[in-house]
């Protein structure tokens, strides 16, 4: 089911460029990383869940590329661009073969059920 996103025609022409360019650099960096690496973990300092996801991948012997953006006290506006782009509300954001699979809990379920290995082998 597609999530609702405000259609471009519902944005006044005077603000469209600002909306499309707002923190586009962080979104583009994550897009490039997700295209270049089989597994990408996007996180932030001080948050235990990105660390949990990375430890789960390490225990499973799965290499991962990590990106971190700020902490609870910095770069939250930039991180909001990622949340708006993906629709995922929390960190980490874990990408497998370019597909967002969720956060630490969802990743652990994929590992436990063997689905992560299948996703990696399919690519």
pLDDT tens profile 8-25: 999 999 999 999 999 999
pLDDT at 2: 83
pLDDT at position 123 over 70: no
Q: Using alpha carbons only, give the angle 89, 20, 64 rounded to the nearest 5 degrees.
A: 45
Domain ranges of the chain: 8-122
The whole model's pTM is what? 0.94
Average pLDDT in the 45-49 region?
97
pLDDT at 42: 98
CA R_g for the chain: 16
pLDDT at 109: 98
Q: Which CATH superfamily does the domain covering 8-122 fall into?
A: Glutaredoxin (3.40.30.10)
């Amino acid at each position: 089911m597609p999530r609702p996103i405000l259609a471009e025609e519902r944005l006044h022409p005077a603000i469209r460029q600002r909306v499309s360019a707002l923190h586009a650099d962080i979104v583009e960096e994550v897009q490039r990383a997700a295209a270049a690496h089989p597994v990408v973990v996007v996180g932030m300092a001080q948050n235990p869940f990105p660390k949990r996801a990375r430890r789960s991948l390490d225990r499973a012997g799965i290499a991962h590329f990590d990106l971190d953006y700020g902490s609870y006290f910095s770069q939250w506006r930039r991180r909001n661009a990622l949340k708006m782009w993906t629709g995922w509300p929390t960190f980490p954001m874990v990408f497998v073969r370019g597909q967002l699979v969720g956060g630490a809990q969802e990743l652990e379920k994929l590992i436990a059920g063997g689905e992560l290995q299948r996703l990696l082998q399919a690519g």
